[in-house]
Structure 1
Amino acid sequence: MNNQANQKLSPNHPLNTEQSELVNKIITFASDHLQRNDYPAVFTIYGEAGTGKSVVLSALFDCIQKLSHEKGTCFSNTHNYFLVNHPELLKVYKQIAGPLKELLKKNYMRPTSFINQMDKKDSSADVVVIDEAHLLLSQPDHYNNFYHNNQLTEIIKRAKIIVLVFDEYQVLRMKSFWTTERLQKITHQYAHKDYHLHHQFRMTAPDSLLNWFNDFTHGYLKPLNKNMWQNYDFRVFTDAEEMRQAIVHRNKEVGLARILSTSGYPSTLDGGKHYIKEGNFKIPWDQYNYTSTPWAEIPNTINEVGSIYTCQGFDLNYAGIIIGPPISQIPHTNQLKVNLDKITDIEMFKKRTDITNPQEKIKYEEKMVMNSLNVLFKRGIKGTYLYAHDPLLRQNLKHLFIEANNK
């Protein structure tokens, strides 16, 4: 299947110099520890959305699997796995594995499946690569048949070399609650190396607009400048239906243009349709995707609204983003606030016994709401369109946009 996600995550996707050197660094790290029988050893790649983390992992795993079929290397006959706790992304990796002889679909798994399979076979892995490690469960979750306390801890028990990518700004649920400190409390118990990716590859927007998005998700509505969207299609709408029509037009032109939204609208996994309504705009949430094709690449999803659960990890050409009821502006300030009582995603705030301070819990919950918006903000390669539910925020966004264009 020749789609955009497959092309980007294909091991044949060209790497830049830094990415190639990083793959070589990890291969050297893994081979050193395998040869010395010095394991478990953990290599962590840090990077925000769009910095090419998954591209590096895909190329790395392909390289390791090729080496596992060669004689005379420390990777010969090794048993290696690629894990991702994201069903839509897992579909893409399995599609990629199909035509490439060194890659087998069975080596791509959800973390719980890997843990259970290793236990069933009374076996362990040599190298485990983990994409989107910020989605690993950090408490038991019976819904996902995970009965241990922490998926990363359990994976490390069952592997020699662990390579993972992590972004604290993509932590979205309490059951997969992580901070960099919590991650390193586990990874730094072992032989380890950390690496930071900084360059944004996904979006063609200037750094100044990316910084504006980051300021927004840190709670501040900063002034706009039209230089922020040179060669990038950034727009603000006061009518959600108008924004939808613009996205439909872009989709007809170049494809992969979709409407996305934060929480704050009716949403239940009951098989029925639940609508997001904003004035004349009335479109249902994304439906559960039973196909092997990622949500954004199914043509009729232009008539649905995507969530963080269907778009995280994926590129869109254009993203039309609805900033829902949980995020509003504080009157007479440039500050934003999170309205936790307006969250409709029941999965977001599952109870944790290890966070007992109520203020600390609220702080983390508010951060996760802004993280979810950060995920949406970082989807659009060619353009990002915004609409805000909160009247004051909607009015001021438009005012800043008009003001910037008139300068």
Structure 2
Amino acid sequence: MSADPVSGAAYLHNASDDSVHALRTYPQDRSGQLFTALGRARFLDYLRSRLSPINADIHADRLLRSSFTSCKRLLSVAAEEFHGRPQFIFLNEQLVAFNLVLHEATKAQSVDHKSVVVISGGPGSGKSAVALSLLGELNLRGLIAAHVTGSRSFTQTLRRVISPQAPRVAALFKYFNQFIDAPENGLDVLIADEAHRLRKTSVNRWTRPELNTGKRQVDEIIDAARLSVFLLDQDQVVRPGETGTLEEIEDHARARGIPVSHVALDGQYRSGGDPEYVNWVDRLLGLTAGRPAPWTGNADFELKLASSPSALEAMLADRVVMGQSARIAAGYCWPWSDPLPDGSLVPDVRIGEWMHPWALKGDRSVGGAPPAALWASDDRGFGQVGTVYSAQGFDYEWSGVLVGPDLVWRNDDWVTVRQASMDPDFKNLRRVSDADFDVLVRNVYKVLLTRGLRGTILYSTDEETQEFLKTVVR
């Protein structure tokens, strides 16, 4: 073995020589060497020249099990971005969940222990507040932690809002399907927010054949970290193929001998802090036992029925003038067009003479409108109508909800109308049965009806449904 005790090497196993030509301009010496896929044999020779064969298997195992630490600057920036925000002061079960994760993370690091924590809760129960505070606290403690979701809108907004002045912090926010070939226990903690959006598999048409192993997405998340934290509301499943449930996670973890802890968040920090409103929505939509009943009111939360979409917009516009946030969202019952060549948006959502465009497709702002992924968090989003895919995971002070013709009231009950849906995910009759469609549409409207912090304003495009709503919204 060489007398030099320390030496460095980079092995770019997926890179060709041509693709890293610029890196070759950097000096290489005994302190640092660069190898690509074509140089694998030379890399092996280099390792043999640097490593002793004596007790090699023992030292190799120690190396493979060792941890690594991110840049101190990144950790401190992440901690500054998240830590101590006043809106993340916890109460009751939130604090229990927060402390449980910290305890499990410490235990996992100290004794190489692997575990899973599931935090469940309804809309507005503070799941994402717990997730973001954990991300900041874990990084502050020097642990390697990342936040992951299945929502493009949610992840892009977090990257934009949390780290506008610290681009490297954006690397802490990832997607579920980015762990298909992640190293085992490469992270100390992986926080899977909106985990009800987990898919059966991360494989898609662009996946390399060798990565198509049939592995479940939940197993990829569990494998990637010593501690996996799943935050979910399984009643918010709104797309076919979403499989994130408490039972699914527990089954996959326990089948491998991994202990699971579960904390249920029963508090309500949206809808005026009133859990009864969420219960009322569940009964209204037939998602729980009991008939729809009139809303009896809450001093801190308003529920109103607008007489027209124009009236709904005017009521929300008054709140915007007062400096409050507001959005209009609807069931996916109208086509969604690309912007016109001149940059203007097509007013696809048409109800009588009232017409507005959907949130903007693409990743760039056009004509003063933010892209759909930022619709819920950018003040300019008030000018467009959002779908559940733009709204899920977010809240705003005032929520306007247009109930489309995919959900109508007939013969004293709700009827879901498949032909009225324009959602491409619902078109495949073999993939989405009529029974599944019925549940998914009701879940969509539950999400839309539970975004408001101060109030919700409703309007149905169907006359009979609008008359029914007059009996429960007074």
Distance 1:368 1:144 in 2: 27
How much has 1:173 moved relative to structure 2?
A: 0.9
How much has 1:374 moved relative to structure 2?
A: 0.7
| One-letter amino acid of the structure 2 residue matched with residue 31 of structure 1 | T
TM-aligned CA distance change 1:308 to 1:99, over 3 Å? closer
TM-aligned CA distance change 1:167 to 1:20, over 3 Å? same
1:290 aligned residue (346, 349, 363)? 363
Would you say 1:390 and 2:455 are equivalent positions?
no
Distance 2:325 2:305 in 1: 20
Would you say 1:106 and 2:171 are equivalent positions?
yes
Number of the residue aligned with 1:193: 261
Give the TM-score taking structure 1 as reference length: 0.82
Q: Is the 8 A contact 1:83 1:109 kept in 2?
A: yes
| One-letter amino acid of the structure 1 residue matched with residue 397 of structure 2 | N
Q: Is the 8 A contact 2:154 2:393 kept in 1?
A: yes
Number of the residue aligned with 1:82: 147
Q: More relative contact order in 1 or in 2 (CA 8 Å, sep 6+)?
A: 1
Would you say 1:30 and 2:111 are equivalent positions?
no
Distance 1:365 1:47 in 2: 23
Would you say 1:261 and 2:327 are equivalent positions?
no
**Paired positions, count:** 374
| One-letter amino acid of the structure 1 residue matched with residue 126 of structure 2 | G
CA displacement 1:337-383 (0-9 Å, x = unmatched)? 22223221112466777xxxx9xx43332111111111111111111
Greater radius of gyration (CA): 2
Counterparts of 1:134-283 in structure 2 under 5 Å?
Answer: 134-139=196-201, 142=204, 145=207, 147=212, 148-189=214-255, 190-204=258-272, 206-218=274-286, 222-225=292-295, 227-267=296-336, 273=346, 275-283=348-356
Distance 1:380 1:201 in 2: 10
Distance 1:54 1:377 in 2: 18
1:50 aligned residue (121, 124, 131)? 124
Number of the residue aligned with 1:132: 194
Structure 2 residue runs without a partner (length 5+): 1-80, 365-370
CA displacement 1:201-222 (0-9 Å, x = unmatched)? 0120644433221112226762
1:342 aligned residue (378, 398, 420)? 420
Distance 1:141 1:262 in 2: 28
CA displacement 1:130-159 (0-9 Å, x = unmatched)? 111111222455267595553221122222
Would you say 1:17 and 2:91 are equivalent positions?
yes
- Indicate the larger mover: 285-294 or 195-204: 285-294
Q: Is the 8 A contact 1:239 1:279 kept in 2?
A: no
Number of the residue aligned with 1:71: none
Number of the residue aligned with 1:325: 405
| One-letter amino acid of the structure 2 residue matched with residue 230 of structure 1 | A
| One-letter amino acid of the structure 2 residue matched with residue 135 of structure 1 | R
Q: Is the 8 A contact 2:157 2:377 kept in 1?
A: no
How much has 1:99 moved relative to structure 2?
A: 7.3
How much has 1:260 moved relative to structure 2?
A: 0.6
Distance 1:235 1:308 in 2: 20
TM-aligned CA distance change 1:299 to 1:25, over 3 Å? closer
How much has 1:11 moved relative to structure 2?
A: 5.4
Say what the alpha-carbon RMSD is for the aligned residues: 3.1
Distance 2:286 2:205 in 1: 32
Q: Is the 8 A contact 2:309 2:402 kept in 1?
A: yes
Counterparts of 1:365-380 in structure 2 under 5 Å?
Answer: 365-380=437-452
Q: Is the 8 A contact 1:260 1:306 kept in 2?
A: yes
Q: Is the 8 A contact 2:316 2:398 kept in 1?
A: yes
Q: Is the 8 A contact 1:173 1:349 kept in 2?
A: no
How much has 1:56 moved relative to structure 2?
A: 0.7
How much has 1:42 moved relative to structure 2?
A: 0.7
| One-letter amino acid of the structure 2 residue matched with residue 166 of structure 1 | L
Q: Is the 8 A contact 2:358 2:384 kept in 1?
A: yes
Would you say 1:309 and 2:374 are equivalent positions?
no
Distance 1:187 1:389 in 2: 45
Distance 1:100 1:94 in 2: 10
TM-aligned CA distance change 1:337 to 1:99, over 3 Å? closer
How much has 1:248 moved relative to structure 2?
A: 1.7
Q: Is the 8 A contact 2:271 2:277 kept in 1?
A: no
Q: Is the 8 A contact 2:285 2:292 kept in 1?
A: no
Distance 2:272 2:318 in 1: 20
TM-aligned CA distance change 1:256 to 1:192, over 3 Å? same
Q: Is the 8 A contact 1:274 1:284 kept in 2?
A: yes
Distance 1:273 1:150 in 2: 39
TM-aligned CA distance change 1:191 to 1:205, over 3 Å? closer
Structure 1 residue runs without a partner (length 5+): 1-7, 69-77
Identity of aligned residues (%): 20
Distance 1:221 1:382 in 2: 25
SS of the aligned residue for 1:55 comes to helix
Give the TM-score taking structure 2 as reference length: 0.71
| One-letter amino acid of the structure 2 residue matched with residue 132 of structure 1 | E
How much has 1:306 moved relative to structure 2?
A: 0.8
Distance 2:206 2:346 in 1: 24
How much has 1:185 moved relative to structure 2?
A: 2.2
| One-letter amino acid of the structure 2 residue matched with residue 264 of structure 1 | C
TM-aligned CA distance change 1:289 to 1:197, over 3 Å? farther
Number of the residue aligned with 1:67: 141
Q: Is the 8 A contact 2:150 2:175 kept in 1?
A: yes
Distance 2:185 2:98 in 1: 27
Distance 1:206 1:111 in 2: 32
